[in-house]
Structure 1
Amino acid sequence: MTSREDDLVQSYSSTSKVLSEADIELLNKQNSRLVTDFASMRLEKDAKKHWDYFYKRNENRFFKDRHWIMREFPELEDLKAANDKRSLLEVGCGVGNLFYPLLEEGLHISVHACDFSPRAVDLVKQHPLYDAEKINAFQADLTQPDCLDSIRDVDIVTMVFVLSAIHPEKFALVLRNVFNALKPGGVVLFRDYGLYDMTQIRFKPGHKIADNFYMRQDGTRSYFFTTSEVEKLFSEYGFHILSNQYVNRRTVNLKEEVDVPRIYVQAKFQKPEIEPSA
């Protein structure tokens, strides 16, 4: 078995990981030294700078193309044969590792794609498949109330490993923008880090900001969700819950003796249809 992302062992469940005593010990050690309030505020202030530097250092080499998106959300397959072109908004698009594979698959879509990092947006525009008539790529801070004002009535919004990078106090601001950008009946395809994912357990003391919220070495941040928390966030903003579950994966590479358990939350949400007038 290779280490490609499509070659992962996978299962779905309604419950998160059961912690071992070793896991509990590692999580308890994280509380011995927390990120200070001053450092936390500085991380928030410099968030764009950290992500811009991330893409300066890694360019388009860090994330693999997310070809698995078609397998995980099979309704996307229907967009190959759609008579009318559908619109897709990817928030936190990075360098296009999700929507470019969709275009390569032949989906009949127009794309709006935004990212916090201006450098990431520049890399999107340098891709060989970039076409300004089909792809509207732009920089946006999803926590600002006017960031998506020019985007309305899209059919699909993808949120893949995006909300976790934002301060939990601003989750509601992000969902407000996403809700307003969707057309009635439109859907959100969501995937993000799940509670007790191996990366959460491996954080050392000095990296924990708050419950389930951590600072990486490069200054970017990551939050780890429960399914119940995700359901509460989206339902409180008016979305209907279509599905919401944990994805348990193991990255297995026998040659390199790698066997890494991963936990994600995967969900689908729908903006309610407009009620017919009486």
Structure 2
Amino acid sequence: MSASDEADPPGPVPRESPATIRSPGAGDGAPVSEFRRRKLEEDAQKNWDLFYKRNTTNFYKDRHWTTREFAELKACREFEAQRLVLLEAGCGVGNCIFPLLEEDLNIFVYACDFSPRAVDFVKQNPLFSTERCLAFQCDLTKDDLKASVPSETVDVVTLIFVLSAIHPDKMKQALENIYQVLKPGGVVLFRDYGLHDHAMLRFKPGNKLAENFYARQDGTRSFFFSREFLENLFRQVGYEPVVNEYVQRETVNKKEGLCVPRVFLQSKFRRPMK
């Protein structure tokens, strides 16, 4: 397994029930030892830092699809001249933020990531400007976002293929942290792995850490969300669900002659108005 099986959609994708997806059989087998579980949790930041050391900025494609998939990035302004304030939680090397900064000149981005190396790559990008972006290292499960982002000032938070990398027991803490900097009425735009995605089916026995939570060979981890689990998680923190849909499509690997099912969750949650 690579550190991500993320696939960026090439165009509009069908939104269907995942009922047609077969139940995964791989990845179960003998349970992972408690020692390995603890070690993976302790080394989570190191393993992601090593991932970016190996792959630098070459692993992910720039996400030019975000404004198409998430109309709120353009439509949430109260007036045309409003400067949009965005938090990219889990920014990686900037594959989402730099296309946004190029496309929208009236936007300011707070960009944080678990990996210090990833943040350094963001700062080294020729498009990076301190006038339009503040990049900083942050563990969303324990560091206070308000140390870098003023309370209740963010219009939109993007949480794209990020929450799945966090231990399920700590996901609520991350969402509570984000909640504190989001404006009342502000939204979280979410996209991540859905239950029974092909990446889940590919795990070999001995990699299952917990229900729907798996370890990759490089030590990074991935959780696969059901719609019910995700909605309940956000509701516990106080968010209101607006949209919470499965995105189902197929990825074709012409070289290997494979056609594999991909299942994602694409969702929007709002912090209620006071």
Report if the CA contact (8 A) 1:6-1:67 is conserved. no
Partner of 2:101: 103
Query: d(CA) in 1 for partners of 2:230 and 2:269?
Result: 10
Query: d(CA) in 2 for partners of 1:125 and 1:17?
Result: 43
Q: How does 1:40-189 map to 2 (within 5 A)?
A: 40-78=37-75, 82-151=80-149, 152=151, 153-189=153-189
Report if the CA contact (8 A) 1:88-1:109 is conserved. yes
Deviations 1:19-68 (A, max 9, x none): 44xx55x34xx332221111000000000000000000000110111111
Deviations 1:86-115 (A, max 9, x none): 100001000001111111212521000000
SS in 2 for 1:32: coil
**Structure 1: gaps (5+ residues):** none
Partner of 2:190: 190
Q: Does 1:215 align with 2:212?
A: no
Report if the CA contact (8 A) 1:246-1:265 is conserved. yes
Query: d(CA) in 1 for partners of 2:146 and 2:249?
Result: 33
Which has the higher mean CA deviation after the structures are superposed, 68-77 or 255-264?
255-264
Report if the CA contact (8 A) 1:121-1:137 is conserved. yes
SS in 2 for 1:7: coil
Report if the CA contact (8 A) 1:79-1:109 is conserved. no
Judged with a 3 Å threshold, the aligned counterparts in structure 2 of structure 1 residues 9 and 133 are, in CA distance, closer, same or farther, namely: closer
| TM-score when normalising by structure 2 | 0.91
Deviations 1:205-245 (A, max 9, x none): 11110110000111000000001111101111111111000
- Paired residues in the alignment total 265
Runs (4 or more) in structure 1 with deviation over 4 Å come to 253-256
| 2:18 aligned partner, one-letter code | S
SS in 1 for 2:15: strand
SS in 2 for 1:83: coil
- Residue of structure 2 aligned with 1:18, choices 17, 20, 33: 20
Query: d(CA) in 1 for partners of 2:240 and 2:88?
Result: 20
Which has the higher mean CA deviation after the structures are superposed, 70-79 or 164-173?
70-79
| 2:85 aligned partner, one-letter code | S
SS in 2 for 1:12: coil
Report if the CA contact (8 A) 1:149-1:181 is conserved. no
| TM-score when normalising by structure 1 | 0.90
Query: d(CA) in 1 for partners of 2:58 and 2:210?
Result: 30
How large is the Cα RMSD of the aligned pairs?
1.9
Deviations 1:155-179 (A, max 9, x none): 0000001110000000110011010
| 1:165 aligned partner, one-letter code | A
Deviation at 1:17, TM superposition (A): 4.1
Partner of 2:10: 7
Deviation at 1:148, TM superposition (A): 3.7
Q: Percent identity?
A: 51
